[in-house]
Structures are given as C-alpha cells and as structure tokens.
Amino acid sequence: MEGLVNNLVTYVWRLWENKSLHELIDPVIREESKRDEVIRYIHIGLLCVQENSAERPTMSRIHQMLTTSSITLDVPLPPGFLFRNGPESNPLAQRLEPGEPTSMSFACSLDEATITDVSPR
C-alpha cells in the first residue's frame, strides 16, 4: 500500500476501496470459508464508522447482520475519521507552484469534531 497510513480506519478503508481486504486477514485464517466471514465482519465495522451517523446501523441491526449471514449488507460510505496525506489535502501546499520543493508534511482528518495539525518539534 502506497504512502503512510495514520490509523486503522484509514488503512481498512483504503483496502476496501482497492478491493483487497484479504490483506488484512491473518494467513492462518485465510481459508475461503473463514475469509468470507472475516470480510463480512470488517464490512459491518465500516458501516459502523460512516461519517454520517444517520447512515450507521443501529445496535439491533448490527446484531442481525452479525448473526444472520443471509442479510445483504449496504455499501459503506467513507468513514468519519479518515486521514488523507499529500499536497491535495493541504490548503497551504495547494498554493505552491507545481514542482516547488516543500518539506512540509500534512495530515488532516475529515472528522469535524477533531482537527489535528501534526508538525515536528
């Protein structure tokens, strides 16, 4: 996976987008039947961290999804806490001319409740 990953939710979301959730699963349990079950649990987890809380399943719905494999799961929307790295996520870096060197690293969260600017001491 290219670039740094700042948290587990971001890492799992990127695997989801790349259709490579199997990379998250321990090789010991990668056999087909267990792999499908683990991927379903990860899918349910992504539904629980969607940015819009109205889109998240209720606890009773989560219980149904966990105990009834015949329930079709919705496609998750991006999580509420997702880090994006690179100049495209940095409003200051966007003002730089293309090819202009910068030593600035910037990580931002889409979670409006928490805004963290990470910089060296």
What is the tens place of the pLDDT at every residue in 17-66?
A: 999 999 999 888 777 778 889 999 999 999 999 999 999 999 999 999 99
Q: Return phi, psi of residue 100, to 5°.
A: -70, 125
> Is the model's pLDDT at 85 over the cut of 60?
no
What pairs with residue 9 in β-bridges? none
Q: What integer is the mean pLDDT of 60-83?
A: 91
Q: Which residue has the higher pLDDT, 92 or 70?
A: 70
**Does the pLDDT value for residue 84 go beyond 90?**
no
pLDDT-based confidence at residue 92 (cuts at 50, 70, 90):
very low
pLDDT of residue 99: 54
- How many other C-beta atoms lie within 10 A of the C-beta of residue 16? 19
Domain ranges of the chain: 8-67
Is the entire prediction scored with pTM above 0.75? no
Report the b/e string of 50-71 with b at 16+ CB within 10 A: beeeeebbeeeeeeebeeeeee
